[in-house]
Structure 1
């Protein structure tokens, strides 16, 4: 048989299984259990170049005062690998970011806690992600 994936589909976890209960051999012995293919990935999204992962960065509090912290949430457009604090860009002289924590098991959402440094006053601050080191399940590297 030939398997044809649906258009505009991106999925890293796929198998094809056969339920052997309805299958008999030449002697009439019924099958038991299931047979399964190995895992395979699908990426049929139509683009000139495969879509790289994208990210949205949000912060739980946009006006931090002394003693406060904020949760920074990194939400990717799809499951990613290779994402770590080396990919996060911010002014470390104004604050620190805790270790990244995955939210759930889908590999799309990560959080960290931002703590401003004492005696700091600044109205212009950003937290960014350099996507060059981040890959999706199909190996497409992020850009920007």
Structure 2
């Protein structure tokens, strides 16, 4: 086999073959386009209710580690899991947030921040005087 032949797939130059492989359309489900596999939750995001907060916290950390461009899309599984965690942890003690979601991306005495799209959009937990947190989103609206 020649060197030239080993660098092609089905007669296509290697670069073109990679381009074709990397431009496949997103998976389409019943609800419409979804993020490609690199940002798909193990849990059906349309029904996160039956899963524990601890499970969703682990899933958040797993999806965040993927560092996948699909996770930064609006409506991604990462955003949906973060949103559910924000709802569930609202009104809970600060330690419950740390336990479920792990170390925040940013923290000070009164605020815990978990990035969705770095500092552009993130879920924040403000410490209330009674020791609980109030969750809210910050959106840059770019």
Higher relative contact order (CA 8 A, sep 6+): 1
Q: Same fold (TM over 0.5)?
A: no
Which is helix-richer, 1 or 2? 2
TM-score by length of 2: 0.27
Output the TM-score relative to the length of structure 1: 0.26
